Structure 1
Amino acid sequence: MTLFEAIIFGIVQGLTEFLPISSTAHIVITQLIFGYTFPGLSFEIFLHLASVLAVTIYFWKDLWRVIQGFFKFLGGKREENKTQFFFGIYILVATIITGVLGMVLTDVASDAIKTPPFIALALTVTGVALIFIERFHRTGNKSEETMTFWDSVLVGLGQTLAVIPGISRSGATLVVSLLAGLNRETAVRYSFLLAIPVILGSTVLAIDDFSVTMVDYIGPMNLVVSFVVTFIFSMIGIVWLIDFLKKSKLIYFAIYCFIVAILVFTLLDPTMIMEVE
């Protein structure tokens, strides 16, 4: 891998991780364009760590408030900590559901879902879901104080679909959260905070993929550069998305998904299997 390619991979991962356009699909497409086949998910997970570092730093106050409130409520069950305690529970519930079902779906998934036509279809589904939630669903008014256990179950189930390349994790959590009746601010915050345990959990599960061979294949310097670039552009993506959603609509991401789906379907060899596991 060249230094230029390492930078490109970092930019792609950083910008697409938190946008509702499927970072996995974009990393795989970039991989195909450059002609790389990475063993396992080692490189992708490595870049995900940079993204989770970015979201942890950006939301550290929110994260610390949830953790602090969670344990304070356990210790004294004070009413002022009740909301953060249950919000922490809802994060754990959605994460556990995603982790368990994600492993099951990954094990039974066939190579058919790793081909360009299937990824194009999955991107189209993501786009349709974004249009539906924006155009045909009335935004709810549930906040952290009023969301329920079943809301977290639904979001966990929706997030599980992101094991399919082309289905966006952030898009799935946003869409299902809004379907469950959460207001947009709570849905966005919930989606970002959910990324932390989900990505860290996937890293632990993929730890066996990390090896000296992977480091030699990509290059130590290229790994460092791609990590730093991913972190920087993840920060940019987070700030930009939060600001964008205050002013604009999810439909623009849907249009983007449709365009990428058309390009993937028409320009990539339909018989090619995308290495995403």
Structure 2
Amino acid sequence: MSLIEKVKNLFGFAPAEHHSSVEPTTDLPQNNESALITPKPTPAGPPPAAQQRERVIRLIVGRLRVYQNEPETAPVGLRLSILATDPEEEELYRVALWENQPGKFQNELNRQLADNYITLPKNWRFDYSFFSDELPESSYREGNLALAIADKSKPTSAPLRASIVALVGQTEQADYVLDPAQKTTYYIGRGHTTQTTSGRVRTNDIVILNEDDPGFDPQKGSGNGAVSRSHATIRYDMTLQRYALLVDAGGLPASGNKTKIMHPDDRIERADIANLVYPLQDGDQIELGGEVMLLFKLA
């Protein structure tokens, strides 16, 4: 390097060097189709349970339009029958009807009926049940739904009698006759009487023998101790002409207990929600505490 070039470099007069820049490249995968991920389509509309809820409400409101502005002749009860071919479909309807929130569906239905100028009596009743083979005879049918309307203007037939027999476990009587002409509520529990948390003395109508009761057989009644003293109640609805099981505090999981209904079509229904009405069918078996089994039969 000459002296002049050194001086130029010293004072910054040297020409800048030019470097060719190369843009970085990214190799794309050869098989672009396999690298692409197709997003799953988002279902349109409300969730399945909400759709079925709206369908049930439309059916009921539509069938009750004839009672618009006719509160004196309005129905006193509604009974919904649902044909469910598998447990998943049955569970869908249980969610749709807010089964774990007793009274919520009836309140929503009451609101929508009022919006359509349909006023039902203050204590109108609503219940539902599931069927796996065929729907029962009802006033109206739509697909897998059937609706029976209990109108106070229609003549009421004689109340249905039924019976309770112990299949497993020991009861005080060999069988119990349920006669709505005599009474409509029957208490089930271990022993004859017990005192509830409110202090009220409860007398059981269907007595599961306690170990200190006369006639107790340790072998036959070996599982009786699993039954609560205030386990469940069978109630007859005169309007809907139907028996139903209600689980009392002692028969609920919160008390460390359990109650089930084994239906004739092999469906198993867990009765574990307080104040919820579980309709009974002819031939149902009621399991108490996992040890005692009662057979419900219509006379």
More helix by share: 1
Q: Which has the larger radius of gyration?
A: 2
TM-score relative to the length of structure 2:
0.23
